[in-house]
């Protein structure tokens, strides 16, 4: 048995679940009475969603439908980065929503500070867009997971590879 235990902290979106949520939202929009005849659509373009509709009110309604489908499928809304609502072709409006994948340097440093200030006998290191936390005691690692969850980091974090 290894003397050191570790886990990784990552932030990612399950793209297959996101595709399923988009398809369900489009089906609901196609069948709802208040969207009859509207030019509402949701498209996934690489690392961003493009939502368009007739006006701002309908765009917000499309976003509400999309959000409800995403939450039902277990996709966190914390990893969405909203752009401004901009005019599009034939008197419609469009909004681009960026998908945050990975932990950026600023948030990684915040998590590092939380771990360092905890006074637990663990260490953390930034590895690209994820963090590795290691220590001898598994209980300390579990306490660290609880502290990070309660810290209110503005990303949806997953704790994987607990060994």
| Domains in the chain, CATH or no CATH each | 5-12+102-160 (3.30.70.860), 15-99 (3.30.70.990)
**What is the rounded average pLDDT of the residues 139-157?**
86
Centre a 10 Å sphere on the Cβ of residue 128 and count the other Cβ atoms it contains. 8
- What is the predicted pLDDT for the residue at 151? 84
CA 20 to chain centre: 15
| Whole-number Å distance between alpha carbons of 39 and 24 | 17
Q: Measure the CA angle with vertex 130, ends 127 and 135; round to 5°.
A: 75
How many residues are listed for the chain in this entry?
Answer: 163
Binned at pLDDT 50, 70 and 90, residue 1 comes out as very low
Q: Could you report the per-residue pLDDT of 62-112, keeping only the tens digit for each?
A: 999 999 999 999 998 988 999 998 888 888 899 999 998 888 888 888 888
pTM, two decimal places: 0.82
Token readout for 83 is 């752009």
The answer for residues whose C-beta is within 8 angstroms of residue 15's C-beta and 6 or more apart is none
| Whole-number Å distance between alpha carbons of 106 and 152 | 14
């Amino acid at each position: 048995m290894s003397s050191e235990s570790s886990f990784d902290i990552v932030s990612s979106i399950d793209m297959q679940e996101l595709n399923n949520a988009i398809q369900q939202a489009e089906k609901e929009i196609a069948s709802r009475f208040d969207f009859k005849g509207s030019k509402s659509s949701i498209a996934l373009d690489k690392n961003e969603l493009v939502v368009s509709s007739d006006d701002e009110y309908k765009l917000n309604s499309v976003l509400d439908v999309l959000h409800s489908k995403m939450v039902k499928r277990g996709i966190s809304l914390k990893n969405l980065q909203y752009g401004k609502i901009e005019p599009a072709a034939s008197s419609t409006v469009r909004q681009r929503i960026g998908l945050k994948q990975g932990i950026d340097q600023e948030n990684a440093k915040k998590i590092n500070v939380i771990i360092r200030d905890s006074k637990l006998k663990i260490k953390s290191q930034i590895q690209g867009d994820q963090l590795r936390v290691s220590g001898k005691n598994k209980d300390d690692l579990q306490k660290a997971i609880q502290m990070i969850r309660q810290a209110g980091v503005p990303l949806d974090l997953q704790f994987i590879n607990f060994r």
